[in-house]
Copies of this chain bind each other. A is one copy, B any other.
Amino acid sequence: MFETMRWLPGEECLELLDQTKLPVEISYIKCSDYRAVASAIKCLAVRGAPAIGAAAAYGLVLAAGRAGANTKEEILALVEAAARELAATRPTAVNLNWALTRLTKKAHDADTGDPVVLRGLLLEEAHAVFREDASGNRRIGEYGQGFIPQNGRVLTHCNAGALATAGYGTALGVIRAARDAGKNVSVYADETRPLLQGARLTTLELLQENIPVTLITDNMAGFLMAKGMVDLVIVGADRIASNGDVANKIGTYGLAVIAKAHNIPFYVAAPFSTVDLSLQAGDEIPIEERDHTEVTHHGGRLLAPVGVKVWNPAFDVTPHHLVTAIITDRGVVRPPYHENLKKTI
C-alpha cells in the first residue's frame, strides 16, 4: 500500500499522499509549512481521523521550525497559533485535537531552552504519534479479528484503512488480521457518497491485498442485508462519546439501523484516541457540514440543476444501542459503554 504520509528528514518537510486523486493518480503534496498541512486536511488530501491527527502533529513540527523563533517562548507561541489553526480545519474528528494537545504539551513541558533540541523533541513526538497509531492498528486487528467468522462477509462504509491511518487501518485492519489468521474473508464496500472514499480508496486497498471486494452504492446495503449476504458490519469512527455514541462518515447511522433490523452485528474499530470522554453523548459532537459542490458536482461536471439547495453533513451519529462492540487498541469494549469506556483508560 502507498504511504499515507512520510517525513523527509533531509528536507525537513512532510509529504502527504493526495487522496483526492486516487485511484487515478498517485501523487504526493510536499508541505514545508504547517499551512500547507492545514489546506491538505481541509480539502481531504489527507483524511481519516487517525491520519489527520498524525499529519497535524507533523504540522506543529513545521510550525516550530519557522525561521526567527530562537527562544522556547517564541517557538511555543508559533506552535500554539498553528495548533489553533490546524484544530479549526475539521471539527468532528477528535484525534486532531488529541494530537495537537499532545505536541503542545510536549513543547510546554520541555526542559530545554535550546530551539534545536526543542524542535527535535517535537519531531520525536510526532513520529511517536505516527508509530503508535500504526502499532495500535495492529492491536485493533488482533483484538477484532475474532469477530469475523471463517468465510465471513463484511460490509464496510467509507475508508477506515491504511489510508485513513498511519498504516494497516482500523476497520480494514480487522479485516486484514482476519485474512492473516487464515480466514477466507470477503468485503462489500459502500461507495460512500459524496466523496466516494469507499469506491476510490477501500476497493484500492483491498484489491492490492488480494482480499475479495465488491463495490456497491450506499443505498444497496439494505437489500444486500435483506438477501442474507452480510455477516457483520465494521466501520471506523471520528469521535466516540463517553456513552458509546459514535460519530462517523455520513451514512453510518442508516447502516447501523438496517443492520439492527437484520440482527447483523455492527462493530466500530478505532484507536482509543478517538474516544472523547469529555462528552456525555453523541449530540454534543460537532458535525461538519461541507461545501454543496461536493454533492452537485463530480470532477467539475454538474450532476444536478444549477441553484438547487443541498444539505451536506460529512458525518452522522450512531447511538450506542446500535453498536455491538467497540474494538480499540486497548481491547474490545462492550456495553454498557458509559461504564466500560472509562474502565479502559
Contact = CB atoms under 8 A, between A and B. Distances in A.
A192 to B, nearest CB: 7
Interface residues of A, number: 56
B215 A308 contact: yes
Nearest to A305: B23
Contact of A223 (B191, B207, B213, B250): B250
Given A222-B316, A250-B223, A316-B222, A213 B308 contact: yes
Interface string A291-323: 000011011011111011111110011000000
Interface stretch (A112-120, A253-261, A335-343): A253-261
A254 B250 contact: no
A261 B255 CA distance: 12
Nearest to A192: B219
Contacts of A207: 305, 307-308
Given A257-B258, A309-B214, A310-B215, A304 B191 contact: yes
Count of identical protomers in the assembly: 2
A204 interface: yes
Interface stretch (A85-93, A193-201, A265-273): A193-201
Contact of A193 (B193, B299, B317): B193
A191 B303 contact: yes
Contacts of A204: 305
Given A214-B311, A317-B226, A220 B299 contact: no
A310 B218 contact: no
A216 interface: yes
A203 interface: yes
A27 interface: no
Contacts of A220: 250-251, 311-313, 316
Contact of A219 (B193, B223, B317): B193
Contacts of A212: 309
Contacts of A192: 219
A303 B200 contact: yes
A190 interface: yes
Contacts of A295: 191, 199, 215-217
A221 interface: yes
Interface in A189-247: 190-194, 196, 199-200, 203-204, 207, 212-224, 226
A310 B254 contact: no
A345 interface: no
A303 B199 contact: yes
A67 interface: no
Contacts of A253: 222-223, 226
A30 to B, nearest CB: 25
Contacts of A203: 304-305, 308
A241 to B, nearest CB: 15
A296 B213 CA distance: 14
Contacts of A310: 214-216
Interface of A: 23-24, 157, 188, 190-194, 196, 199-200, 203-204, 207, 212-224, 226, 250-251, 253-255, 257-258, 260-261, 295-296, 298-299, 301-305, 307-313, 316-317
7 contacts: A157-B219, A188-B311, A191-B295, A193-B193, A200-B304, A217-B312, A222-B254
